[in-house]
Amino acid sequence: KALQGANVTVPHKESAYEQCDEVRGIAQTIKAVNTLVIENGRLIGYNTDADGFIHAIESFGPIRSALILGAGGTARALSVALRSKGIDVTVLNRSEGRLEYFKNEGIASYAWENFTPDAYDMIINTTSAGLSDNELPVPAAMLKELLTRTKAAVDVIYGKETPFLREVKERCLPYKDGSDMLLSQGVLANYLFLHRRYPIDQIESAMRQSFLY
């Protein structure tokens, strides 16, 4: 059977946006696509990261403030999703180069060199640090201070313990890797791949079983 769709991961979400014949939903705003669906020969782009992430962090309870590490497509998706829930968002990136989007949206955003740590309910790593190396998403001293000022942490990387999560676990903070987000965004992606023919809860039940093996 012909391919109906595909998921896209870092660092290709912005490029996927550029390749689409049409972009829908939040992907229009953040200019990053993680879900591609073929409809009548046309490539349609969506972003399911945002809703997937919100679903994944529900178990943490109320979150009032969040610090996002990184400024790529995932960071844009999560910043929009979190703000839509009334959560105060700050973005921290290595340099100023990718912060223009956040500044234009009125989101507090800083490069390492001009950042002063504050208290946050949650820190979210959206960078690729730790994916294929042993790097931290921010300098070690800065991370140490941040982790004394936060209540929980999430790393969107899944399938391995990153250096970031090791630091989080050493401080006995509540945490998650990207597995729950992966599942939640995948459920929504499959809902789109299947052209909304099956209820979301039915898709989630089937996919959750596959995650157990």
178: left (phi over 0), alpha (psi -120 to 50) or beta: alpha
Question: Which residues are paired to 5 by β-bridges?
Answer: 37
Please report which helix (H) or strand (E) contains residue 82, including its range. helix 73-84
Q: Is residue 13 flagged as an active site residue?
A: yes
3-class SS at 166? helix
Query: Which entry of 13, 151, 160, 169 is annotated as an active-site residue?
Result: 13
**For residue 54, which of 122, 138, 150 has the smallest C-alpha distance?**
122
Name 92's bridge partners.
69, 110
User: Which residues, including other chains, have CB under 8 Å from residue 118's CB and lie 6 or more apart?
Assistant: 67, 90, 149
Residues 6 or more apart in contact with residue 84 via CB below 8 angstroms: none
Look up residue 173 and give its amino acid. L
Residue given tokens 């009032």 in the structure block = 64
Question: Which is it for strands 5-7 and 35-39: parallel, antiparallel or unpaired?
Answer: antiparallel
Give the Cα separation of 158 and 176 in Å (integer).
Answer: 9
Residues identified as active-site: 13
